[in-house]
Structure 1
Amino acid sequence: MAKVNFRLVMPERELLATEADMVVVPGSEGDFGVLPGHAPLISTVRPGVLEVFQGNKAEQRFLVVGGFAEVTPERCTVLADEALPFESVTPEQLAERERAAERELTDAATEAEKTTAQKNLAIAKDLRRAQAYYANR
C-alpha cells in the first residue's frame, strides 16, 4: 500500500521524518487528512494536534502552535513554529503556559506588547482545549 512521506520541521530542527498511511493536520480552515495521492495544497496551521497514522491508529501525536503545511501527491511537510510530542506535555504545563500568558497580558505596557500577549493567550487556550480533547483518544 502506498504511503505519504511526512516531515515535521521546526526552525531549529527536524522532529520527525517517516512514512505514514495518513497525516491529519490542524489547518486554519479545519483539520484535513493527507493520504497518498492527495491534491497539492499549501495551508497555514493553527494551534492543535497533528496526528500521524499507521493503519487505522494514530501512532504519533504532536501539539503544534502554528506554521505552514505543504502537500503534494507523495509527501506532506509541516513547518511548525513550535511542536511538542503530545505525550510529553501535561495539562499542568499547559495551564501554567496559560497563566504566564495572562500575566504577560496584565503587564503589557504598549499596544504591541498587548497584541502579542493576546495572541499568546489565545494559543495557550487552544492548546489546552486540544490536549483535553485528545487526551483520552
Structure 2
Amino acid sequence: MINKFQLSVISAESKVFEGEVENVLVPGMVGDFLVLSDHAPCISSIRPGFLEFSDGTSKKQKYFVSGGIVEVTNNMVSVLVDLAIEGDKVGKEDILALISEIDNKLSAGDTVNIDDLGLRKNDLEEALKQA
C-alpha cells in the first residue's frame, strides 16, 4: 500500500484542492519533480505548466498553474499559485491568451523584469504543447 500525504493547492482566488494524495508532479522552475510520501523538505518556485496528482483513484487530477511556489514539509505539500484551472477545462486559447498578455507587456515597455517574462513565455509555450 502506498503511503499518502496532505496536499493543499491554493490560488489567489480560492482553495482549489485539499486532501490526501499518493503523489504530486510539480512543474518546478528547473524541471518537473515528483513528490511522494516522506519527501525531503524543500521550497521551490513553480513555472507555468501542469500540476498533476493522484489520490489513489484511477483518475489523476491535473491543473494548469500559472506560477507560484511549493513547500514540502513533514508529509504536507502546500502549493500557492496565481492561477489554477482544471486540466480538462484549460484549452490552448487560455494559454495563448496568457502568452499574448506577456507579449503586450514586453512590447509596451512596462516596468517589469523582461528576463522573467521571457522565461514565463517559454514555459507557457511548453505548456501549450502539453494542452
Fold conserved between structures, TM > 0.5: yes
Tell me, in whole angstroms, the C-alpha distance in 2 between the residues paired with 1:85 and 1:92.
14
Q: Alpha carbons of 1:117 and 1:97: their partners in 2 closer, same or farther (altered >3 Å)?
A: farther
Q: Look up the match of 1:91.
A: 92
Count of aligned pairs: 130
Q: Look up the match of 1:44.
A: 45
Comparing 113-122 and 29-38, the one that deviates more: 113-122
CA contact (8 A) 1:105 1:114 kept: no
Q: Alpha carbons of 1:9 and 1:98: their partners in 2 closer, same or farther (altered >3 Å)?
A: same
Q: Alpha carbons of 1:69 and 1:100: their partners in 2 closer, same or farther (altered >3 Å)?
A: closer
Query: Secondary structure at 2:88's aligned position in 1?
Result: helix
CA contact (8 A) 1:40 1:72 kept: yes
Percent identity of paired positions between Structure 1 and Structure 2? 32
CA contact (8 A) 1:101 1:117 kept: no
Q: TM-score, normalised by structure 1?
A: 0.78
Q: Look up the match of 1:129.
A: 126
The CA deviation at 1:55 is 4.2
Comparing 72-81 and 91-100, the one that deviates more: 91-100
Instruction: Deviation per CA, 1:7-57: give whole Å up to 9, x if none.
Output: 101233211112111001111222111111111111111221110124496
Tell me, in whole angstroms, the C-alpha distance in 2 between the residues paired with 1:60 and 1:14.
15
The CA deviation at 1:77 is 0.8
Pick the structure with greater CA Rg: 1
CA contact (8 A) 2:23 2:55 kept: yes
The CA deviation at 1:120 is 4.5
Q: Alpha carbons of 1:121 and 1:86: their partners in 2 closer, same or farther (altered >3 Å)?
A: farther
Tell me, in whole angstroms, the C-alpha distance in 2 between the residues paired with 1:132 and 1:101.
18
Q: Alpha carbons of 1:58 and 1:127: their partners in 2 closer, same or farther (altered >3 Å)?
A: farther
CA RMSD of aligned residues (A): 2.4
Comparing 120-129 and 91-100, the one that deviates more: 120-129
Comparing 94-103 and 15-24, the one that deviates more: 94-103
Q: Which runs of 5+ in 1 are unaligned?
A: none
Q: Which of the pair is proportionally richer in helix?
A: 1
The CA deviation at 1:121 is 5.7
